Amino acid sequence: MPDVYIFDFDDTIIRSPRPSDASPTSSWWRDPASLKSPYIREDSAWSVALPRTYDRVIEVGSASGTVVVVLTGRPPHLTQEVADVLTWLELPVDVVMAVGSPIIDNKLAVIWQLLNQGEEVPYIEIWDDRADHLIAFRHAIKHWSPKTEVVTRHVQ
């Protein structure tokens, strides 16, 4: 099994544009318009990219023996819009999944599936802007797959 690199989308790969009143549970995050012009434009999507994460996706995505997964808490109906932004950024991503709410549970379900493909996953690296999610991911992976090396990166 290849090494797996998992990246959150909002405020991890991109600095997500939002109105000042957009709380984490507001309808903004479910609106396809939030990932289109004028908030994110195809010709300047790079302007919202977070450089450290962007560089890491480029680095691991161009290496052999890796799988790059973008897991976002955006609802599933926005998978294509998220994929479009990643394409505009020219990021080498293998899988894009918008999992919706409850975010942590749904992301953990995807990680569980990745770990149960038959072969041991030797290495998982996860990037997220939510420290509490990273703690939960690390704990679950260590419980489910003790031999897997887990590295987490908190994006602030």
Residues 95-106 have a mean pLDDT of 96
Domain extents in the chain: 3-154
* Complete DSSP assignment for 46-95: GGGB-HHHHHHHHHHHTSTTEEEEEEESS-GGGHHHHHHHHHHTT---SE
User: Would you identify the CATH topology of the domain 3-154?
Assistant: Rossmann fold (3.40.50)
pLDDT of residue 19: 79
H or E element that contains 126: strand 123-128
Q: How confident is the model at residue 118 (pLDDT cuts 50, 70, 90)?
A: confident
pLDDT of residue 137: 98
Residue 115 near residue 140, CB atoms below 8 Å: no
pLDDT tens digits along 17-38: 887 878 777 888 999 999 988 8
Task: Please give the pLDDT value at position 149.
Answer: 97
